[in-house]
Amino acid sequence: MFLQLNNITKTYPGVTALNNITLHVSKGEVHALVGENGAGKSTLIKTCTGAVIPDSGHIIVDGEKFSSMTPKLSKQQGIAVIYQEFNLVGQMSVAENIFLGRAICKGLRIDKKAMAAEALKIFRQFDIDIDPNTLVSNLTVGYQQLVEIAKAISQKAKILIMDEPSAPLTKAEVERMYRIVDKLKAEGVTIIYISHRLEEIFRLTDRVTVMRDGNIVETMNTGDTNIEKLIKRMVGREIKETYPVRGCCIKDEVLLDVRNLSGNGLFNISFKVKRGEVLGFAGLIGSGRSELAELIFGVKPKTGGQIFFKGKEISPKTPRSAIDYGIALVPEDRKKQGALLDIDIKGNICMPILERISKLSFLNKGEEKRIANQYKESIKIKTPSLEQKIKNLSGGNQQKVIVAKWLASDAELIIFDEPTRGIDVGAKYEIYKLVNSLVEAGKTVLMISSEMGEIMGMSDRIIVLSEGKMTGFLDKKEFNQEDIMTMASITKGKV
């Protein structure tokens, strides 16, 4: 076995993150690691990279034994990782990010042209369409993920760990990533692949290890199992429906009426959405879906058009003003936009309602704890306590806290931008049930998703965007994956 993790244990106050884990991976194997958020997957891979020091156990790489890793030692052993959360510098170019910490120099000067040329070679080799001189901050989340993949490839890794690499990608970008993984495997690279998109497990991997609550449940050949069996092992129960059934709850009242809205890269967007409706937004990376959410939520200014909410024209200049109107946004990038990582769970959940639960500037801590605990239980946030800081939670549980925050605000219009990105199948189902309960209670949901099945399974109607323009509008009975992809590809250009 090329990589061996033997008897790895790691504990934190109140929780055992890893309980005597043993995992062996062969050279050139693509090995899947699956489990619910909080199962221990990310902690386990961090022991390989030196980001986490285990309490006990050892690691063997190509026959060499280590009691623990350091980041430097891990790189020396040829281990590279693509984390679920990016590690990029926005104000540096794509090429500079790819060679960050190992810049190509000409004499004493950094050779930016040489780095751009090398980056371009990688992009061409793997059919990635990005200008190496573009600032990372100007790229969408999906393209930033491709930069992360290119950065790992440039390190000529022997062991590549991919933690939710497809989470922000559209179907076309996922297909490109499949080709990248296939090519790396053919070159003998050992890959540990973590994903909540289970169809990817069966497309890419040789074996799969299921984790639950810091333990390994089972390791098996991928070809010897199926999605239903994997889900049951992951969550400890059977989930019979992918998308929970929702009764008809759409009212006659038009809650949001957008007329010829322009700005933030959008042009003349018009639509209406009724109370109790889930309106989905489909499109490729860069189509303008998130940009539309930013206009409605007051993150970016509109340059033209009108927004009517509950029959009255509004013009949110800031997110605070949008919140005051009764609009909420669960953003795509949870770490930068969704949560305060050094604040605890109850503080994050109750942030939008501090005035409501305070009297004479004094916070009612009992009410804060009651409300936070209510949402902790209802959407199953896995944590030893409400005092846990957000940064110590798994990615999926961070997302749940952000959702809980806006549920607590009692907004009437909730915009979900990639609400299940990086969330396991069991947690996805809970989010879907929450969306249903919201519209059944008379609220309205705008849902942006790159997962075609999700946007079709949860929406009452779908708007398709391409390069900032509306290219399609479909009712439920008209949903068709090929038609949506065709509409999403109209006038598609390059980065």
pLDDT tens by residue, 3-19: 999 999 999 877 789 99
% residues pLDDT > 70 (the chain): 95
Least confident of 396-405, 456-465, 467-476: 396-405
Amino acid 271: pLDDT: 97
Q: Please enumerate in sequence order all residues whose Cβ is within 8 A of that of 229, keeping only pairs 6 or more positions apart, or say none.
A: none
Residue 107 banded pLDDT, cuts 50, 70, 90: confident
Residues of the chain above pLDDT 90, percent: 53
The alpha carbon of 216 is separated from its chain's Cα centroid by a whole number of angstroms, namely 24
- 244, 434 Cβ separation under 8 angstroms: no
pLDDT at 29: 97
Mean pLDDT of 48-69: 94
Say how far apart CA 118 and CA 171 lie, in whole Å. Answer: 27
For residues 155-190, one letter each, b for 16 or more C-beta atoms within 10 angstroms of the residue's C-beta and e for the rest, the string is eebbbbbbbbbbbbbbbebbebbeebbeebbeeebb
Tokens 């933030």 — which residue?
Answer: 264
Residue 326 in this model has a pLDDT that exceeds 50: yes
Per-residue pLDDT, averaged over 232-256, amounts to 82
Give me the mean pLDDT over the 168-180 stretch: 79
Mean residue pLDDT of the chain comes to: 88
Model pLDDT, residue 492: 43
**Distance, CA of 363 to chain centre:** 33
CA 288, chain centre distance (Å): 18
Contact 387, 380 (CB under 8 A): no
pLDDT band at 451 (very low <50, low <70, confident <90, very high): confident
The residue-averaged pLDDT of 220-227 equals 94
pLDDT at 370: 92
Q: Which residues sit opposite 135 in a β-bridge?
A: 93
Nearest to 426 by CA among 191, 262, 196: 196
Structure-model confidence comparison of residues 36 and 216, the more confident one: 216
Specify the range with the lowest mean pLDDT, choosing from 12-16, 20-24, 385-389, 466-470. 12-16
* pLDDT (average), residues 489-495: 54
pLDDT value, residue 155 = 87
How would you classify the pairing of strands 30-34 and 190-194? parallel
Which of 30-39, 117-126, 306-315, 329-338 bottoms out in mean pLDDT, i.e. has the lowest? 329-338
Taken in order of first residue, the domains within the chain and their CATH numbers are 3-235 (3.40.50.300), 254-488 (3.40.50.300)
pLDDT at 318 > cutoff 70: yes
The torsion defined by the Cα of 121, 124, 128 and 134, in degrees rounded to 10, comes to 50
**Is residue 237 pLDDT above 70, yes or no?**
no
User: What token pair was written down for 23?
Assistant: 């995992």
- End-to-end CA, the chain: 41
Token couple for 406: 């806006």
pLDDT of residue 115 exceeding 90, the answer is yes
pLDDT at residue number 495? 37
pLDDT for position 494: 37
Amino acid of residue 293 = A
Long-range CB contact pairs, 469-475, < 8 A, 24+: 469/266, 469/267, 469/268, 469/269, 469/288, 470/268, 470/269, 470/270, 470/271, 473/271
Query: Which has the minimum average pLDDT: 1-10, 260-269, 302-311, 335-344?
Result: 335-344
Residues 6+ apart with CB under 8 A from 222: 32, 201, 202, 205, 206, 207, 208
Span 246-297, pLDDT tens digits = 877 899 999 999 999 999 999 999 999 999 999 999 987 778 999 999 999 9
